Amino acid sequence: MYRTHNCGALRIADVGTSVTLSGWVQKSRDKGFMMWIDLRDRYGITQLIFTEEATPKDLFEKARSLGREFVVRVEGKVIERASKNTNIPTGEVEVEVTALEVLNASKVPPFTIEEETDGGDELRMKYRYLDLRRGNVQKNIIFRSELAIETRKYLAGEDFIEVETPVLIKSTPEGARDFVVPSRMNKGQFYALPQSPQTFKQILMVAGFDKYFQIVKCFRDEDLRADRQPEFTQIDCEMSFVTQEEILNTFEGLTRHLFKQTLDVDLPTFPRMYYDDAMRLYGSDKPDLRFGMPFVELNDVAKGKGFGVFDNAELVVGICVNGLADQYSNKDIKKLTEWMQRPQIGAKGLVYVKFGEDGSIKSSVGKFYSDEDLQAWGAKFGAEKGDLLFILSGETDKTRKQLNELRLEMGSRLGLRKPEDFKPLWVIDFPLLEWDEDASRFHAMHHPFTSPKKEEIPNMLNGDHETMKNLKADAYDLVINGVEIGGGSIRIHDRELQSKNFKLLGFTPEEAEAQFGFLLGAFEYGAPPHGGIAFGFDRLCAVLNGQNSIRDFIAFPKNNQGRDMMIDAPSPIAQEQMEELGIDLALSEDPLIH
Amino acid sequence: MYRTHNCGALRIADVGTSVTLSGWVQKSRDKGFMMWIDLRDRYGITQLIFTEEATPKDLFEKARSLGREFVVRVEGKVIERASKNTNIPTGEVEVEVTALEVLNASKVPPFTIEEETDGGDELRMKYRYLDLRRGNVQKNIIFRSELAIETRKYLAGEDFIEVETPVLIKSTPEGARDFVVPSRMNKGQFYALPQSPQTFKQILMVAGFDKYFQIVKCFRDEDLRADRQPEFTQIDCEMSFVTQEEILNTFEGLTRHLFKQTLDVDLPTFPRMYYDDAMRLYGSDKPDLRFGMPFVELNDVAKGKGFGVFDNAELVVGICVNGLADQYSNKDIKKLTEWMQRPQIGAKGLVYVKFGEDGSIKSSVGKFYSDEDLQAWGAKFGAEKGDLLFILSGETDKTRKQLNELRLEMGSRLGLRKPEDFKPLWVIDFPLLEWDEDASRFHAMHHPFTSPKKEEIPNMLNGDHETMKNLKADAYDLVINGVEIGGGSIRIHDRELQSKNFKLLGFTPEEAEAQFGFLLGAFEYGAPPHGGIAFGFDRLCAVLNGQNSIRDFIAFPKNNQGRDMMIDAPSPIAQEQMEELGIDLALSEDPLIH
């Protein structure tokens, strides 16, 4: 037997007990006549003690020879510590070792196995098995496991059934790029990995499963960013015979449950905001509500006073930052303006108005506007002495996007985006369609299965571009602290409406049939009204922990090139494997390279 | 709102309540002045009633127009039934309908939505969404969901952490064929889908996770049989600092928990049997212990009496079927012999000895053996009057395999393999290696990471074929009713031993490094002793329900050509997709087809 207890188990009540422990050597302290070793496993750390009086000489020497991360098995007796450590649960006791067996040696790790490690990203990814030994990383992975347990507990309690949908499915060019899998048994044909189980969960509703969920891997072959992975995990859900209202309530319930169970946080009731209002007030469909600073539009008070930039702008809009007027020097504002002018944001300039504590008013556009004019602006913000206005202008969508960046930046600078503060929000009534300027066509804003609002159905396919652009859908996102953690919609369950929607999205009837014929067919056999939602599970883990990167919550993440650094994948395969699959590497288009 | 109650909810206590229900029209009975509709959903069936007195004429007509599988929403009042149905929980009440809305119509389904359907396999797979509406199929999928919940509950209670391992990994030619995924970002390179998360779970042990599990999809590109699917699900588990004994106990605990919670069956303690004994006594590494009929070897009593077939055989072995001597005519035995001679089994012949109730002894080899000889055979079986011996002979392994088929067949014919009877068994001490006659090399019997028994280590690589063949491993299978539902082993955790094992399996050091370098590397940084097991989750579902086919427990199974008949996958992909991935279809080898 390797152990009678784990390394986090022993307490003062165990004093006198003979125990066997196994674990890793975290560190040793050698005082010559006395030596301590911290023995570590997932459960904790137990201190081992070796003394000149009590420990046989050869055992003492053996203990001395142990390096960091050696795996050992020890026998000994639990004794009370002379100097106790109240910071750890096992801190009142130590084990006086009587036998020691080295189960496995360890080379010196390439970085320190500590919360604050000296290992760089690449090194830690290559030696992920060592990186995962670090307490904080291990904690994240264990948190993820608990979050999944609580998710399942809640949903099962609400009569949801977890159904596994297939991973080898069919490629549908709509949306992001598919990963594909050549079929050996059906040469020249390919499976695709699912970008989500969307059509399958709808099929399950048609099949009468009523409430479905699945914690499931999804795959997108997209160019990667820090918060994107080629494979990621969703909490995928669908319900039949439901209204949007019932869906929002159910998943508000799930979210509150998860926060309560994992963080002991009681979330307030989730406010709801129309998509249009979110864009107008925050310039974003995922506003961070941990702080205010809503947008105020100034077209009526800022135009027509001879300042050409504003006069010619589609939108003049600003935010009011409380108490900053006397703190931000002109130099500070100049720097901020430059920050806004970086290509990532692309603002042309940044207008300010300072309402000084002393009653003074200063503005970069002071020569175009009287103090009275500027007071009128301030009044629209409810600005008081000491407040600072930042104002942008230009084309509506772009300007809002830029001001959103500024608002978030000011929130961060003022410390208003506290990681332990959680502000959930339902954003509802998303548009049905999104205009793709480059392709000069509409895309589905959510996905092609999203139902337009009932009252919009007569407006579909009427050909008027503006009407199409403004069609609203029964689609909603759950946003927490400015991060979209879930999104869903009421689905179309009628074959004709679905066909209409495909047409709107530029599918020919033949394309629609080839790709989604099974779903259109299913709608002819008594499809119930249904809708659902999917949560980004990796992101939910990160948000609950006040962190940005989802990578820290994935045991074996891939890097930005989609590469697993530890196993070194992807990798070339044998020519015979390709032959069996009926594929070949394409010749390079460069005629010199074959 | 679509419903106040589901279709399984209403009881006699609800009489008088106004309710709204939604569901499918299961069937209608129209008596002219009165009409009933069975309204169905996942939860049950509620009877709707329409009467000439109480129902407005247009509503009655509307009800009459409903076809099978129409989706409707009704409002009405719960009343007590005149004639009650005690077979269903809602059978005491019915709903007097006051309003009816057709939510969706349905074409006439291509087969009946009943437990006993008239739809063939292909048709049901194509219309899987209708097949899944059938009560028994739905029950299977719901059972699967419950089994997963109970699995997680038990393992989480035992401190196991569920960790998601990646689906896009590296191709390793060892074992079954991999499905591969061409990488767009790393052209000319491929990911592989995991045949199991084996190396990742071992890495998690090296990382100190101590106890890992995952209910996880695995993939094998093999030619398919009825009980094989290209994607299947495992309960995958691994533990550190454990002996084989502790693993067996833990997963015996899991299995007992699952039987108790889902079937309310208390399993007896699991017996254990050495692999060698299982082969000797049952000719199988997964004996069905619901009945006896163990093999008895007759070499000592059957050879040397002048019957050449036996004299020249490596093994003479038989089973004793109780009470069959006077029931099986010579014609029956002739038919059975022909059954044994089919190519699937390939026996050369079948020798019998009948010990008649009247004390007579009859045998197909009577002219070579005296009654006394045959009595001696019977004594070895403990045969009594009325018993019938079946005896085969030939090369040991083949003969055992054939007799195993006969034993199972006789068990089935005699009704000894009852589906509600569960006989679990641990088969232990599997061989480390398996000789591949065709390739003239050893394969790993379990997998290349399995640890030989400690005492076998010195015997490894000594070059003697027989010794190699007899090396035993710390490997075990869990068998229930003749079905292997799980298998595992203690793993190698030492770099040198692992390298030795790779060598034994024919890997060059370079191949071992290229494919498993990360694992060999991990073993150098304090890998703990560890071991684990994986259960076939699909098969476990089937076994618990006394069924053979795993397909009935998979929501969207593929057919024997690896094809999803409903979505029609795999399918061709666009040329641009292939170009992006840097692959091409290989030209046919037939020069006339390009």
Three-state secondary structure readout of B143-210: HHHHHHHHHHHHHHHCCCEECCCCCCECCCCCCCCCCEEECCCCCCCEEECCCCCHHHHHHHHHCCCC
Interchain contact A164–B (C-beta under 8 A) = yes
Would you say B79 and B94 are in contact if contact means Cβ atoms under 8 Å apart? yes
The separation between CA A594 and the C-alpha centre of its own chain, rounded to angstroms, equals: 42
Kindly tell me if the per-residue pLDDT of A276 is higher than 60: yes
Interchain contact A129–B (C-beta under 8 A) = yes
Q: Å from B518 to nearest chain A CA?
A: 6
Q: Say if the Cβ atoms of B558 and A166 lie within 8 Å.
A: yes
| Peptide bond between residue A570 and the one before it cis (omega within 30 degrees of 0) | yes
Interchain contact B293–A (C-beta under 8 A) = no
* pLDDT at residue A283, rounded to an integer: 98
pLDDT average, residue stretch A131-150: 96
Select from A353, A298, A295 the least CA-distant residue to A319.
Answer: A295
- Of residues B528, B555, B572, nearest to A188 (C-beta): B572
Phi, psi values for residue B168, rounded to 5°: -95, 100
Q: How confident is the model at residue A594 (pLDDT cuts 50, 70, 90)?
A: very low
Residue among A513, A568, A573, A587 with most chain B CBs within 10 A, to mutate: A573
Select from A280, A288, A258, A255 the least CA-distant residue to A269.
Answer: A255
Would you say A215 and A148 are in contact if contact means Cβ atoms under 8 Å apart? yes
Q: Å from B433 to nearest chain A CA?
A: 25
Element (H, E) at B236: strand B231-240
pTM here?
A: 0.95
ipTM of predicted complex: 0.94
Interchain contact A228–B (C-beta under 8 A) = no
Query: The tokens of B290 are what?
Result: 């619901």
Topology adopted by domain B424-535 = BirA Bifunctional Protein; domain 2 (3.30.930)
In this structure, whether the domain defined by A137-195+209-268+537-564 belongs to CATH 3.30.40.10 is answered with no
Q: Say if the Cβ atoms of A185 and B109 lie within 8 Å.
A: no
Q: Å from B34 to nearest chain A CA?
A: 25
Cα end-to-end distance, chain B, whole Å: 59
Q: Å from B472 to nearest chain A CA?
A: 21
Percent of chain A with pLDDT over 90: 88
Q: Which residues of A touch B554 (CB under 8 A)?
A: 164
Select from A575, A551, A594 the least CA-distant residue to A231.
Answer: A551
Which residues are CB-contacts of A90 (< 8 A; sequence separation ≥ 6)? A7, A8, A9, A10, A11, A44, A45, A46, A47
Q: Å from A231 to nearest chain B CA?
A: 8
Please give the Cα distance from A116 to A271 (Å, whole number).
38
Separation in Å, CA B162 to CA A82, A350, B193, B493: 39, 50, 19, 22
Note which residues in 48-107 of chain B have CB less than 8 A from chain A.
69-71, 73, 103-107
Please give the Cα distance from A414 to A406 (Å, whole number).
12
Give CA angle at B219 (B217, B222), nearest 5°.
Answer: 150
Q: Which residues of B touch A128 (CB under 8 A)?
A: 203, 207
Query: The tokens of A380 are what?
Result: 């629209």
Kindly tell me if the per-residue pLDDT of A516 is higher than 70: yes
Identical fold at A137-195+209-268+537-564 and A291-413? no
Note which residues in 183-212 of chain B have CB less than 8 A from chain A.
183-193, 199-200, 203-204, 206-210
Interchain contact A17–B (C-beta under 8 A) = no
Query: The tokens of B123 are what?
Result: 């048709």
Q: Say if the Cβ atoms of A189 and B525 lie within 8 Å.
A: no
Interchain contact B157–A (C-beta under 8 A) = no
* pLDDT at residue A460, rounded to an integer: 84
Select from A234, A216, A201, A156 the least CA-distant residue to A528.
Answer: A201
* pLDDT at residue A587, rounded to an integer: 61
Q: Where are the alpha helices (DSSP H) in B272-424?
A: 275-282, 299-302, 308-311, 330-341, 371-381, 396-413
- B291-413 in CATH: which number? 3.30.1360.30
pLDDT digits (tens, 9 = 90+) for A277-286: 999 999 999 9
Q: Say if the Cβ atoms of B141 and A148 lie within 8 Å.
A: no
Interchain contact B151–A (C-beta under 8 A) = no
The residues spanned by each domain of chain A are: 12-104, 137-195+209-268+537-564, 291-413, 424-535
- A12-104 in CATH: which number? 2.40.50.140
Q: Å from A331 to nearest chain B CA?
A: 44
Kindly tell me if the per-residue pLDDT of A84 is higher than 80: yes
Task: Count CB-CB contacts under 10 A for residue A360.
Answer: 12
Interchain contact B156–A (C-beta under 8 A) = yes
Burial status of residue B65 (CB atoms within 10 A of its CB: 0-12, 13-18, 19 or more): exposed
Q: Say if the Cβ atoms of A71 and B2 lie within 8 Å.
A: no
Q: Say if the Cβ atoms of A561 and B185 lie within 8 Å.
A: yes
Q: Å from B529 to nearest chain A CA?
A: 7
Please give the Cα distance from B524 to A106 (Å, whole number).
5
DSSP A207-248: TT--EEEEEEEEE------TT--SEEEEEEEEEES--HHHHH
Please give the Cα distance from A172 to A178 (Å, whole number).
8
The separation between CA B592 and the C-alpha centre of its own chain, rounded to angstroms, equals: 44
| Token pair 């069975």: residue | B38
Would you say A446 and A532 are in contact if contact means Cβ atoms under 8 Å apart? no
Interchain contact B564–A (C-beta under 8 A) = yes
Q: Which residues of B touch A44 (CB under 8 A)?
A: none
Q: How many distinct helices (H) and strands (E) make up chain A? A: 17, 23
Interchain contact B337–A (C-beta under 8 A) = no
Tens place of pLDDT per residue across chain B (594 aa): 999 999 999 999 999 999 999 999 999 999 999 999 999 999 999 999 999 999 999 999 999 999 999 999 999 999 999 999 999 999 999 999 999 999 999 999 999 998 888 888 899 999 999 999 999 999 999 999 999 999 999 999 999 999 999 999 998 876 789 999 999 999 999 999 999 999 999 999 999 999 999 999 999 998 877 678 999 999 999 999 999 999 999 999 999 999 999 999 999 999 999 999 999 999 999 999 999 999 999 999 999 999 999 999 999 999 999 999 999 999 999 999 999 999 999 999 999 999 999 999 999 999 999 999 999 999 999 999 999 999 999 999 999 999 999 999 999 999 999 999 999 999 999 999 998 888 888 889 889 999 999 999 988 877 788 888 899 999 999 999 999 999 999 999 999 999 999 998 989 999 999 999 999 999 999 999 999 999 999 999 999 999 988 999 999 999 999 999 999 999 999 998 999 999 999 865 554 544
Q: Å from B513 to nearest chain A CA?
A: 11
* pLDDT at residue B227, rounded to an integer: 73
Min mean pLDDT across A198-212, A323-337, B164-178, B320-334 is at B164-178
Q: Is A24 helix (H, G, I), strand (E, B) or coil?
A: strand
Burial status of residue B86 (CB atoms within 10 A of its CB: 0-12, 13-18, 19 or more): exposed
Q: Which residues of A touch B133 (CB under 8 A)?
A: 207-208
DSSP B507: -
Q: Say if the Cβ atoms of A571 and B2 lie within 8 Å.
A: no
Which residues are CB-contacts of A558 (< 8 A; sequence separation ≥ 6)? A224, A229, A230, A231, A564, B166, B168
Q: Among all residues of chain B, which has the CA nearest to that of A574?
A: B173
